[in-house]
Structures are given as structure tokens and as C-alpha cells.
């Protein structure tokens, strides 16, 4: 359901979190904003409008969805969801909004917790779509210390899960199919 929201307030919040990345992290993590977070935000916002979801929840969750990565990458969904709740609550967002955003972040990996609400499905989908449309894997390869063949195998499994399990809308899956097929060929080369 589309609700009236304060776009300016949400944009200011996005800018604040962007500043946090740019002021507190090294070049690689600053790049993470441009390579991943901003594209996820843009895609998620478009999907929220298209599917008439709660834009404020989707937008805030997209901004914060990977905020746990720098504390605990393996558990960044659970760690990040609690961290996001705190960040929002401290900035005066209601308990209801903070809790909804927390639950979107908890399900964004489609791993331990599965998306159920429209907003949860949108952010999981946007996260996956951004992997197909940006230099995400180049960035991941760059920061990784893993041997090349091992990395390609890992990426190959990851794009398959992204394509099959994380895109919740048929139309979006079909739009992503050519990029998926291309990346699949790249990663299966080794
Ligand atoms: Fe994530
Ligand atoms: Fe992500």
C-alpha cells in the first residue's frame, strides 16, 4: 500500500548513512556504496512504486540492508537487522517502522529467514538484481584473497541462487535472464 511519506527526510537519512560509509571506511568499502548499495536503493525504490509497496520501509531497508557486513559478514542479516533497528529508533523513527525495516533486513539473503511481505520480497529482489547489473563481482574478486578457480566456483553458485531464489517477480527474472546467462558463462569457464 502506497503511503504518504516524507521523501526529503528519507533522502536525508540516506545521505547520512552514505556519509558514514565515506567517512569511516577505507576506499574499498566506500566503493561498496557506489557498486552495491546505491544500485540496490535505486532498484528497490522503482520496484516499490511498481508493485505499490510501502516506499519508506523499502527505501530505509535498502539503505541499511548490508550495514551488518562490517561487524560480521557471515551473520550480517541478523547483526545488521538489530543494528538497523537501533539506528532508526535513535533517529526518532517509530517502533513500527524500525521493526518493519529490521524484518526486511533479516530476510534479505533468503537464507535463514524467508521473505513473506511485499517489502521483504522487493529488497531481496533488488539485492539480487544489483548483482547482475553492476561491477559487483569485479569488486568482490578484488577484495577477495581466494584462489581464482575457487572464487569462480563460489560466484557461479551465488548467481544461480540469486537468479532462482532471490528474484520474487517473474517479470524482473526475465529482465535479468540475459545478464544471468552471460555471468554464468563467465564463472563456469574455470
Ligand atoms: Fe547482504
Ligand atoms: Fe546486498
DSSP notation for 53-103: --HHHHHHHHHHTTGGGGT-STTHHHHHHHHHHHHHHHTT--HHHHHHHHH
Which ligand has its closest atom nearest to the C-alpha of 32? Answer: 2
- For residue range 60-93, list pLDDT tens digits in order: 999 999 999 888 989 999 999 999 999 999 999 9
**Residue 127 in domain:** yes
Inter-CA distances, 1 with 50, 58, 90, Å = 11, 12, 26
Q: What's the gap in Å between 129 CA and the centre of ligand 1?
A: 12
Handedness of CA 67, 63, 10, 166 (dihedral sign): negative
Residue 165 within any structural domain of the chain: no
Distance CA 77, CA 85 (A): 12
Residue from 103, 123, 107, 106 nearest 115 by CA: 107
Residues that place a CB less than 5 A from ion ligand 2: 66, 127
Average pLDDT, the chain: 94
Burial zone of 85 (CB within 10 Å; 0-12 exposed, 13-18 middle, 19+ buried): buried
Number of domains in the chain: 1
Q: Considering every ligand atom, which ligand is closest to the CA of 37?
A: 2
Rounded to the nearest whole angstrom, what is the distance from the C-alpha of residue 11 to the centroid of ligand 1? 21
Specify if 124 maps to a domain.
Answer: yes
110 is a domain residue: yes
- Is 42 inside a domain boundary? yes
pLDDT tens for each residue of 18-39: 999 898 888 888 899 999 999 9
Report if residue 189 sits inside a domain.
no
Rounded to the nearest angstrom, the distance between the alpha carbon of 180 and the centre of ligand 2 is 17
pLDDT tens column, 37-48:
999 999 999 999
Residues in the chain: 190
Per the structure, the complete domain to which residue 73 belongs is given by 7-135
What are the Cα distances from residue 113, in Å, to 7, 78, 120, 129, 147?
A: 29, 9, 10, 19, 30
| CATH number of the domain to which 70 belongs | 1.10.3210.10
Whole-prediction pTM value?
Answer: 0.94
Decide if 168 is inside a domain.
no
The reply to whether 163 falls in a domain is no
Amino acid at each position: 500500500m502506497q503511503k504518504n511519506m516524507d521523501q526529503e527526510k528519507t533522502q536525508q537519512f540516506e545521505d547520512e548513512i552514505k556519509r558514514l560509509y565515506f567517512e569511516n571506511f577505507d576506499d574499498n568499502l566506500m566503493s561498496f556504496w557506489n557498486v552495491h548499495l546505491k544500485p540496490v536503493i535505486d532498484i528497490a525504490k522503482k520496484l516499490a512504486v511498481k508493485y505499490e509497496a510501502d516506499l519508506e520501509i523499502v527505501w530505509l531497508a535498502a539503505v541499511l540492508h548490508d550495514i551488518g557486513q562490517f561487524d560480521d559478514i557471515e551473520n550480517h542479516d541478523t547483526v545488521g537487522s538489530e543494528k538497523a533497528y537501533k539506528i532508526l529508533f535513535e533517529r526518532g523513527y517509530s517502533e513500527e517502522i524500525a521493526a518493519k525495516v529490521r524484518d526486511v533486513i533479516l530476510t534479505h539473503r533468503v537464507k535463514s529467514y524467508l521473505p513473506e511481505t511485499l517489502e521483504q520480497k522487493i529488497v531481496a529482489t533488488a539485492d539480487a538484481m544489483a548483482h547482475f547489473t553492476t561491477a559487483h563481482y569485479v569488486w568482490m574478486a578484488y577484495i577477495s584473497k581466494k584462489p581464482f578457480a575457487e572464487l569462480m566456483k563460489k560466484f557461479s553458485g551465488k548467481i544461480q541462487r540469486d537468479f532462482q531464489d532471490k528474484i520474487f517477480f517473474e517479470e524482473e527474472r526475465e529482465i535479468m535472464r540475459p545478464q544471468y546467462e552471460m555471468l554464468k558463462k563467465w564463472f563456469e569457464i574455470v
